[in-house]
Amino acid sequence: HSSTGHSPYQITFGKTPPTIPQYIQGQSSIEAVDSMLANRQQLIITLRQKLLKSQAIMKQFADQHRRDIEFDVGSFVYVRLRPYHQKTATSTTYTKLSKRYYGPFKVIERIGKVAYRLDLPLTCKIHPVFHCSLLKLHHGPIPSVTTIPPVSVDHHPIVTPLTIL
């Protein structure tokens, strides 16, 4: 729906879906039809009420896990990169043992209500805009250098020698 701006019915058939007219009891001269249409109208009203109630319950449970956090421009935050399976430059071969948060990085700008652009190092090859749920505020003194470990194409740590003999 959101990508095309149209309902699936409208895309399939090329026209808007027909609306269900509201039935007022007594419009039909046949009693069986009148009873069936009245039952259908009552069912539609009940379904709408139940859908609104279930939406409210789902919203209540979803809001329990949400947190309203805002970061100031210029503050430092940690970035959670676990969903991207970043490998560290150490000898850790298991992603379960890798860092959960990297940084801290400086917040450059706020984009919308929940996204922030960070000042990532030039060696970093990921997009610099993150959702606020992936960020955690840095407490303490401001660090001088922050890095993200490099990752090769096959997700193995990149090893660089300290000196060439």
Question: Average pLDDT, stretch 56-71?
Answer: 89
pLDDT tens readout for residues 114-163: 899 999 887 777 889 999 989 999 998 877 665 665 666 566 666 677 78
pLDDT tens readout for residues 4-42: 888 888 999 999 888 877 777 777 788 888 888 888 889
Q: From the CB of residue 115, how many other CB atoms can be counted at a distance below 10 Å?
A: 14
Average pLDDT, the chain: 81
Q: Per the omega criterion (within 30 degrees of 0), is the bond before 104 cis?
A: yes
Is the pTM for the entire model greater than 0.85? Answer: no
Q: List, in order, residues 6 or more apart from 126 with CB less than 8 Å away.
A: 81, 84, 120, 148
CATH 1.10.1060 fits 69-159, yes or no: no
Question: Of 114, 119, 121, 128, which Cα lies nearest the Cα of 71?
Answer: 114
Identify whether the C-beta of residue 117 lies closer than 8 Å to the C-beta of residue 128: yes
Residues of CATH 2.30.30 domain(s) within the chain? 69-159
